[in-house]
Amino acid sequence: MTTFHNLSSVGDSPISAAEIEAAYEQQRADFEVWRERTARDQQAEVDAALTAGAEFLLNRPDSGDRRVHTLTCPHVRRKLDRMAEWAEARWHPQGGVFPKPADIQVLTRKELESLGKRYKRCQICGPDVVEAPKRKRQDAILAMSLAEHHAGIPIEGPNGQELGDFISAEPQIVVTTSTGTHVLPARSTVRLRFND
């Protein structure tokens, strides 16, 4: 997905309200171009898959909660219209794209079977596919072991607090000095200033 530049990159000198407004306008315009192209590309993919005999819709394929539906499922069938889905998406300077249409994949039975049952079946439309046995409900791991393949899985903090679905982890190091505690990215560089 396209990254929209942060306003702090506009320049080093103080920026005026008019410049900020102009920058927002430019970002909105860039977003519109990107939104239309994304919608068209996704629609072309869906249409090609349907032409190729696709029978199933996989909702949120990149999440830990990917779910298989029939193409006529009342819960998701409108998602096949990517143009309509993206028509309501708006860009917000603070919060990115909202509402952001969930990704889908439209698959033939063979394509779905190649995923190795790593999905759940929709309980509403009940597609005629085999589901994987339920995953173990909870696994305790060290926070430093969180990795890309955990993406989409809801995680709980050390005190049982709900932290939401895992996206990514940034290794950090906690440094205590005479001025207090500092959290630095683990791969950042620090300079040791020796007294000559």
- The footprint of Zn ion (CB under 5 A) covers 69, 73, 75, 122, 124-125
Element at 28 (helix H, strand E): helix 17-51
Q: How far apart are CA 178 and CA 189, in angstroms?
A: 19
Smallest separation, CB 123 to Zn ion (Å): 8
- Closer residue to Zn ion in complex, CB, 58/125: 125
Smallest separation, CB 186 to Zn ion (Å): 43
Tokens standing for residue 97: 């794209």
The answer to whether the CB of 86 falls within 8 A of the CB of 38 is yes
Smallest separation, CB 1 to Zn ion (Å): 26
The answer to whether the CB of 183 falls within 8 A of the CB of 190 is no
CA-to-CA separations, 100 to 15, 39, 43, 135, 140, in angstroms, rounded: 30, 11, 15, 28, 32
Smallest separation, CB 71 to Zn ion (Å): 9
- Closer residue to Zn ion in complex, CB, 23/46: 46
Q: How far apart are CA 153 and CA 8, in angstroms?
A: 33
- Closer residue to Zn ion in complex, CB, 48/124: 124
Smallest separation, CB 28 to Zn ion (Å): 35
> Omega of the bond prior to 99 within 30 degrees of 0, cis?
yes
Angle at 130 between CA 128 and CA 136, to 5 degrees: 140
